[in-house]
Amino acid sequence: MNKKILFLILVLASVFVLVGCKKDAPLTIWVGTESVEFYEGVIEDYLAAYETANGEAFPHEILVKGADTGSAAATFLEDTEAGPDIFTVAHDNLGKLIAGSSSIAPVTDADLLAQIENDNPDSFKEVIKGVVGGQTYTFGVPYIAQSLVLYYNKEFITTEQVQTWEGILAAAEAANKQALSLTGTDGFNNSFLLLATNAETGQSSLKLYYGGDINNNFASGDDTVSVMKWGQRFFTHENGPKRPTDSGWQIELKDEISLSVISGAWHYNAASAALGSKLGIVKLPTFTITEADAYGSVTAGTVFQSGTFADTKMFVMKKGSKYQEFLQDIVKYLSSKDVQEASYEEVQNLPAYKNAAVEFESMTGNTLEAQLASAQIEMFEHGIPQPFGFDNRFNFYYYSKGAPDLILEILENKSGTETGLFTSFDQIKAQLLIIENIWKTGNKE
């Protein structure tokens, strides 16, 4: 045989061998960076269970990677082909993921749909759904819950004072400190007054994209006007809230410049590091409307409960994944109530499971972790899920078109005159009407 032909055959054969040996990319799962090690262990358990049930090993490699769950959706959309097969997002990111023809796959497995139905509170069941092509589908599988709570300095604030903002303000006055450090002035971290509810009835006239309707927004009711007026007195008090600064809220807590901060479980470690044994954790305080705040149908003496967004983090699946046939079974395992309980025990992920507070033994006791879980669960009674997953515009209009700044203008009542811009109820209501319009149209007018 001609030596050149033989050489060519050998080269081609080696190429075929290399191509044939090319290893498939692993089935990839993104979870929060703080949870990677835990879910690596969970996947090991899943693989063992799969082999026992099927009599053979799982046919593919599974890789668990850490990702910022706040930006995971945006990162995935930058290159969906290279993106993970299963990943974690906050439910309010659903709109951007299903825009157009959808980049994620709906849940179709009957057993997984039944698990979602049986294990989750009604509020979560609605925000994990979306409409594509005129049809409503379930896209998300809840497995973590989160809400805002109060971290505070027990050395200066008593257990009685911490129940009300008035008590916290009195403690701050006595110590010549600030009552509160804000972690942000955005529409999430500074939402405790906007989302406040009547402490007796649990009701609020506020509507945020109610029913998934962009026109169903309302923020100018008598109760919201009264709450904003009360908040204005709180924010303009010399010992009231402190805007975010370059030093940061952790330093302000540690150096006892401020006595409390509103945040979620994601800041637990930082709050603990700042206050150590002085750290207390409770649900957000109440406050009472005075004669100076009472407007319309709201009377002096009405007590309001600070509000929160009570959200879920959920697993979603890449549409068109080459591992599609396996994804729903894996997600069903990862989101099961037993794994949720273990996740809480090991990495303090608050379960989305609706009966966790009474069924999970690990959530009882007086540890700080148990107090954090208890405070979050209590706040779920006074919160709403972020209602932004139905349409990609909702999140953008609420957070990024200037409405949070307009709310802060009311609360801080700053202007170049002695009377201020928002001294009267009419001025406050006019500003709230502008905010409503931004939520509906993205514009002030």
Q: What is the CB-side half-sphere exposure of residue 66 using CA atoms within 13 A? A: 6
pLDDT digits (tens), the chain, 445 positions: 554 444 444 444 444 333 333 468 999 999 998 899 999 999 999 999 999 999 999 999 999 999 988 789 989 999 999 999 999 998 988 988 998 889 999 999 999 999 999 999 888 998 999 889 889 999 999 999 999 999 999 999 999 999 999 999 999 999 999 999 999 999 999 999 999 999 999 999 999 999 889 999 999 999 999 999 999 999 999 999 999 988 899 999 999 999 999 999 889 989 999 999 999 999 999 999 999 999 999 999 999 999 999 999 999 999 999 999 999 999 999 999 999 999 998 988 999 999 998 899 888 778 898 899 889 989 988 999 999 878 889 989 999 999 999 999 999 997 655 557 899 999 999 999 999 999 999 999 8
The reply to whether domains 27-145+311-375 and 148-309+401-441 share a CATH topology is: yes
pLDDT at 142: 97
Encode burial over 18-55: b for 16+ CB neighbours within 10 A, e otherwise. eeeeeeeeebbbbbbeebbebbeebbeebeeebeeeee
pLDDT at 265: 86
Give Cβ neighbours of residue 111 (< 8 Å, ≥ 6 apart): 332
The amino acid present at 398, given as its one-letter code, is Y
pLDDT at 415: 65
Quickly name the fold that domain 148-309+401-441 has. D-Maltodextrin-Binding Protein; domain 2 (3.40.190)
The CB density around residue 121, as the number of other CB atoms within 10 Å, is: 17
pLDDT at 8: 42
C-alpha 112/C-alpha 329 separation (Å) is 8
How many residues are recorded in the chain? 445
First to last CA, the chain: 84
Phi then psi for 34, rounded to 5 degrees? -75, -10
Domain 27-145+311-375 has CATH 3.20.10.10: no
pLDDT at 71: 85
**Domain locations in the chain as residue ranges:** 27-145+311-375, 148-309+401-441
Long-range Cβ pairs for the range 376-381 (8 Å, 24+): 376/145, 376/146, 376/147, 376/149, 376/264, 376/265, 376/350, 377/350, 378/283, 379/147, 379/148, 379/149, 379/283, 379/284, 379/308, 379/310, 380/121, 380/145, 380/147, 380/310, 381/202
Query: Which 3 state secondary structure label does DSSP give 62?
Result: strand
The CB density around residue 437, as the number of other CB atoms within 10 Å, is: 17
pLDDT at 418: 56
pLDDT at 369: 87
C-alpha 292/C-alpha 413 separation (Å) is 15
**Contact in structure between 144 and 350 (CB atoms under 8 Å):** yes
pTM: 0.82
